[in-house]
Amino acid sequence: MPAADAHGAARGALDATRRHQSAQLALVYGMNGSGAIEMRGEGARVLLSDGRTALDFGSYAVTLLGQRHPAVLAAVRRELDAMPVSTRVLANPTTARLAERLAAWGDPGRLTKVWLGANGCDAVEAALKLARLATGRTRVVAVEGAYHGKSLGALAATWNPRYRRGLDPLLGGVTHVAADPAAVPRAFADGDVAAVLVEPVQGEGGVRPLEPDFLRALAAAAHAHGAFLIADEIQTGLRRCGPRLVSTGLGLEPDAVLLGKALGGGVQPLCAVLATPELYAPLTADPFAHTTTFSGYPLGAAAGLAALTAVEALAPRGEVLAGLFSAGLDRIAADHRGLVTRVRGLGLLWGVEFATPAAAGHVLMELGRTGLVVSPCLARPEVLRLLPPLVASDAEAEEALAILGSVCAGVPEEFRPAGGRGQGSG
């Protein structure tokens, strides 16, 4: 695209965003891209309208397989030529194959029932609804710092008051428990708990891996009280953090696992609830008790089938990349003590915590200008998320770490703490 046309396209997109969506959003987009907009994705990179490329180590965990993974694109194109949406009154073979594959993929023999939707909120809403119907109870236990979405039902289980302000009353009966084994018994003291909803690693909450002892105590309490344990792995599942599922890897025996984000291969919106027959019983009795128009649509199902195959094939690559980022981020934390106060993460989900939200905001903007896209944590604005794709090369991983280190080195004094030294990784 000629430079003049590219500049016009960027200006037009930012103008339309400002007029028809949000002036604040247009300002953020403009600053992050230095006036440029995204035009095309390929593997671990995004091409911008001004000709620059940026490594995509963000996209809120959607692009685990990178941009436009060829196997996912091919599967979607085949389905596009066959039947992209379902009549919803006839069975669809692609949708049925995805349900069968997921039942055998997550926790074979236990999580044998599958509900499909389009996004993470869909999965959270479906799981909470099933738990209340199956138990006849109303209370939900979630964890302080949790993020489960912004729809009204999911929002009740989301911790941050920023998203809840002005919307009360929400779905009643949600208790948030501190991430401490000693706090668990109090959450169940009043009884009537239908479900425990937990992220093994809190993503939006600052990339905070919850301690296995706490997770096991929470799981044991749920099972002892006849409540369903629901593992929200919308961000952590599909080998983003190493194992297929963090929760089953820890032996928590969840009654449901929620998947989303990367499940559509970075090409189609798709989510799933993998559940035990006991939790799924209300839908077994009445399959129309919870439906959405695009639940299990064939185009998304085709993307999901291809994504599962690609993720498994790239699993060894994920282990290599995880080691590179663990070591590289430790080096950056050590080199920039006081500015970088902590590094946390598992596999290909990492959080870099800065001394102040202002410092993190400055680094976020400079990374975008310098060629690295990461995702902020809106609930913890002092933390930036790095979400490398499985398709990244060693050279691209080192390039991303070099950009982050260089940007940290260039942070002006006004964004640095006045004194003291922060902690390194932990």
CA-CA distance, 94 to 296, in Å (whole number)?
9
pLDDT digits (tens, 9 = 90+) for 71-122: 999 999 999 999 999 999 999 999 999 999 999 999 999 999 999 999 999 9
SS3 78: helix
pLDDT confidence tier of residue 309, bands split at 50, 70 and 90: very high
* The residue to which tokens 């080195």 are assigned: 409
What gap in Å lies between CA 237 and CA 177, rounded to an integer? Answer: 23
Question: Percentage of the chain with pLDDT > 90?
Answer: 88
Residue with tokens 């018994």: 185
113 bridge partner residues: 275
Helices (H) and strands (E) in the chain, counts: 14, 17
Cα angle 180, 184, 187; round to 5 = 130
C-alpha dihedral, 162 to 168 to 173 to 179, nearest 10°: 10
At 49 the pLDDT is 95
What pLDDT does residue 41 have?
A: 97
Written in H, E and C, the secondary structure of 205-254 is CCCEECCHHHHHHHHHHHHHCCCEEEEECCCCCCCCCCCCCHHHHCCCCC
What is the torsional sign of CA 237, 242, 245, 246?
negative
Q: With bands split at pLDDT 50, 70 and 90, how would you rate the model's confidence at 419?
A: low
Q: Are 339 and 406 in contact (CB under 8 A)?
A: no
3-state secondary structure 372-398: EECEECCCCCCEEEECCCCCCCHHHHH
Please report which confidence band the pLDDT of residue 35 belongs to, taking 50, 70 and 90 as the band edges. very high
> Is residue 213 within 8 Å of 286, Cβ to Cβ?
no
CA–CA dist 312, 309 (Å, integer): 5
pLDDT in tens, 180-206: 999 999 999 988 999 999 999 999 999
Q: Peptide bond preceding 169: is omega within 30 degrees of 0, i.e. cis? A: yes
User: CA–CA distance from 343 to each of 68, 174, 209, 333, 351 (Å)?
Assistant: 30, 30, 11, 7, 6
Residue 7 binned pLDDT confidence (cut-offs 50, 70, 90): confident
CATH class for the domain made up of 3-68+315-415? alpha beta
Residues 343 and 330: beta-carbon distance below 8 Å = yes
> What would the two tokens of residue 266 be?
């970075």
Confidence of residue 155 (pLDDT cuts 50, 70, 90): confident
Q: What is the pLDDT of residue 4?
A: 65
pLDDT in tens, 343-380: 999 999 999 999 999 999 999 999 999 999 999 998 89
CA 242/CA 409 separation, integer angstroms: 30
What is the CATH number assigned to the segment(s) 70-311? 3.40.640.10
Residue reference for tokens 């499940």: 263
pLDDT at 224 over 70: yes
List the domain boundaries for the chain: 3-68+315-415, 70-311
